[in-house]
Amino acid sequence: MEKYRGRFAPSPTGPLHFGSLVAAVGSYLEAKSRGGAWLLRMEDLDTPRAQPGAADAILRTLEACGMAWDGDIVYQSRRSVAYRAALAHLEAQGLVYACGCSRREIADSGLGPDGALIYPGTCRNGLAPGKQARAIRVCVDHERIDFEDLVQGNLNQDLAAEVGDFVLRRADGLYAYQLAVVVDDAEQKITDVVRGADLLDSTPRQIYLQRRLGLPAPRYLHLPAASNRADRRRAPRR
Ligand code: GLU
């Protein structure tokens, strides 16, 4: 049987908040109860949102809680070569395109399950004259992505209807979370992802990318999201 490899992947946008601590404890206990490894990845890709000192503060909190990680910490800010290669792999399959739309231009689109705008495919067949390339998106189709979550049960999503072609490289040049997480879970040979249910709606996008990139899909377990009044005001993930 393959050896269990779990992970915790905090974003250093501030001190470890309660919701993240739940994900940390949940992923740690799952890994340890299965005699597995528990890896750590610092998701410091979104440099404009990263807070100086937050990554170290998170590590100190984990240590103070007695949660020791296995192996070296992966820092996403050092992994752009791998993300570029994955994007090139998708590009070679004709699956990506440059998008020139601003958020305002698609503001009248419907909202997907995570509250983000469903991209209507405006630039899929080329940029309209005068439009500048901003983000890079991946084409999705109506194939239903089905998966079994170990807590939430069987779930499925029609990406074309519920999300639309989604961003892999943002207008500010940064690689998007959805691409980075898939590349890194594969690189760290993660067999089991345990995280908060706020990421449940992202999972079909990640499974879609795993399939297109020929990467193995880990098992998923989404813990009920812990939140407080301040968390409820947080914006949806893009
Ligand atoms: N970095 C994400 C967060 O802190 C978690 C990503 C993941 O577990 O896939 O919300």
Only one residue has tokens 């005001």, namely 233
80 burial (CB, 10 Å; 0-12 / 13-18 / 19+) is: middle
- Residue scoring higher pLDDT (238 or 126): 126
Q: Compute the Cα dihedral for 190, 42, 99, 159 and give only its sign.
A: positive
What was the pLDDT predicted at 47?
Answer: 84
43 lines ligand 1 (CB under 6 A): yes
Task: Return the ∠ at Cα 75 (arms to 112 and 217), rounded to 5°.
Answer: 50
Number of domains in the chain: 1
CA 106 – ligand 1 centroid, Å = 26
Hey, which of 178, 195, 206 would you mutate to test ligand 1's pocket, going by the most ligand atoms within 8 Å of its Cβ? 195
What was the pLDDT predicted at 2?
Answer: 82
Query: pLDDT band at 43, cuts 50/70/90?
Result: very high
> What's 150's domain CATH number?
3.40.50.620
Q: Is 188 strand, coil or helix?
A: coil
The reported pTM is 0.93
Instruction: Identify the domain containing residue 12 by its residue range.
Output: 5-234
d(CA 96, CA 88): 9
21 lines ligand 1 (CB under 6 A): no
What was the pLDDT predicted at 232?
Answer: 57
Structural tokens at position 176:
């998007």
What's the one-letter identity of residue 183? Answer: V
The neighbour count for residue 161, using CB atoms within 10 Å, is 13
CA 99 – ligand 1 centroid, Å = 25
Instruction: Judge contact between 12 and 55, C-beta under 8 A.
Output: yes
d(CA 161, CA 80): 30
CA 156 to chain centre: 17
104-114 per-position pLDDT tens digit: 888 888 898 88
Instruction: Judge contact between 35 and 5, C-beta under 8 A.
Output: no
2-30 per-position pLDDT tens digit: 899 999 999 999 999 888 999 999 999 99
